[in-house]
Amino acid sequence: MRPDDKEIERAAEVLRKGGLVAFPTETVYGLGANAEDATAVGRVFAAKGRPTSHPLIVHLSASQHLDDWAVEVPDAARQLAARLWPGPLTLVLRRHPRVTLATTGGLETVGVRVPDHPVAQALLSAFGGGVAAPSANRFGSVSPTTAEHVRTELGEAVDMVLDGGPCQVGVESTIVDVTSDTPSILRPGGATREQIEAILGTPVEVHASSAIRVPGQHPSHYAPRARVVLVPPEEIITAAAAAAARGERVGVLLPADATEMPTSVHAVVTVPGTAAGHARALYGVLRDLDEQGCDLILASLPEETGLGLAIANRLQRAAGPRPTA
Ligand code: TXA
Ligand code: MG
């Protein structure tokens, strides 16, 4: 059941009073606070356990408000906003003074997006201002794609959770830096590189490991508790059998149309064979394998076109080095 008008109004009031509201977007659930309230934004960082230098995205109800939150907006940004908003695209622009530096992690730039979800839209319209929101998970872990994931992970740290059902896209927004003459992708996501290039009429580079301190660019981000190892698709059955023989509790992530399924492993989960289905299911199945008690997850990378680029990026980060502390 979608939240009704009364619940949305109550959530907007929580935001006005400096509280935290978790809400659904088409990508993943966000943990929202008033983007102009440094104290409220501070609570977001505390709830996530996230370093305060890592910037948050400001969510707006419509692109017509863009100039209230960013300055020196270039044509490329306007073209992308006109075609892809509401939708899974975040534009990095020069910060308008009304955006508190707490939101931008001290940066003079701000990430802005207009989400495409009726509950997010209703909340943003009722609130009227910008909502600073990272994904509603603990720092470094897998983003939540259901309200239940948020409750399990953040519990009492959130004043209110709006339940809008499972997220349709399933991976986070694509972040495009439009502050220089050549726009670049800082994080692949729900809006594809191909879509962005078609709109701009030019190739766009993916700088997913730029020098800017961006949490999504920490190798260990988007990681479940279990170790993730990437294996070529033709080797995954053999690798799974070998790990199981070593005594590991192996979870295998496979496309539903795989011709062969491993046997004698701890768990097997399948994701739809389409990139959209794979993206939608990805974080949920990683959580599921954790819950099933796997200590090793084996997966293969999809082709890196369309949404496959974002899926591959998240799997690579999940498989990346973890902090030892
Ligand atoms: O789909 C999404 O983008 C979700 C939903 C809730 O909107 N949000 C999300 O937020 O994924 P978060 O905080 O988990 O990831 C946002 C990324 C971070 O890597 C952050 O560093 C980057 O956006 N970012 C935000 N502002 C930035 C800026 N001014 N310059 C560079 N990167 C920025
Ligand atoms: Mg996140």
Mutate to test the pocket of ligand 1, among 85, 90, 161 (most ligand atoms within 8 A of CB): 90
Q: What is the reported pLDDT for 216? A: 52
CB 170 near ligand 1, within 6 Å? no
- pLDDT of the residue at 220: 64
User: Given this model, what pLDDT does residue 137 score?
Assistant: 96
pLDDT at 32 exceeding the cut of 90: yes
Find the mean pLDDT for residues 24-38.
Answer: 98
Cβ atoms 56, 134 nearer than 8 A: yes
Looking at the chain, the whole-number percentage of residues with pLDDT higher than 70 is: 95
**CA dihedral for 269, 248, 304, 142, sign (positive or negative):** positive
CA of 268 to the centre of ligand 2 (A): 26
Q: Grade residue 222 by pLDDT with cuts at 50, 70 and 90.
A: confident
End-to-end CA distance of the chain: 41
Question: Can you tell me whether residue 281 is helix, strand or coil?
Answer: helix
Nearest bound ligand to the CA of residue 54: 1
150 CB contacts (<8 Å, ≥6 apart)? 22, 29, 31, 136, 137, 144, 158, 161
301 CB less than 6 Å from ligand 1? no
Residue to mutate, 135, 162, 218, ligand 1, most ligand atoms under 8 Å from C-beta: 135
**Could you give the C-alpha distances from 124 to 19, 127, 143, 203, 221, in angstroms and in order?**
15, 5, 21, 33, 28
Is pLDDT above 80 for 219? no
pLDDT at 212 over 50: no
Residue 58 pLDDT exceeds 60: yes
User: Residue 324: which pLDDT band, with cuts at 50, 70 and 90?
Assistant: low
pLDDT at residue 211 in the model = 44
Task: Walk me through the domains of the chain, giving residue ranges and CATH numbers.
Answer: 5-206 (3.90.870.10), 227-318 (3.40.50.11030)
pLDDT the model gives residue 213: 46
Give the residue, by CA position, lying nearest to ligand 1 atom 6.
30
DSSP classification of residue 217: G
Average model confidence (pLDDT) across the chain: 94
Length of the chain as a residue count = 325
Indicate whether 186 pLDDT > 80: yes
Q: Is 87 in the pocket of ligand 1 (CB under 6 A)?
A: no
Task: Using the predicted structure, report yes or no on whether residue 111 has a pLDDT greater than 70.
Answer: yes
Instruction: Tell me if 45 sits within 8 A of 51, measured CB to CB.
Output: yes
pTM over the 0.85 mark: yes
- Backbone φ and ψ of 48, nearest 5°: -85, -20
Structure confidence at residue 221 (pLDDT) = 73
Q: Is the CB of 28 under 6 A from ligand 1?
A: yes
Residue 192 DSSP class: -
More confident residue, 2 or 299: 299
Q: What is the pLDDT of residues 141-160, one digit of tens each?
A: 999 999 999 999 999 999 99
pLDDT digits (tens, 9 = 90+) for 41-50: 999 999 999 9
For residue 90, the ligand 1 atom closest to its alpha carbon is: 3
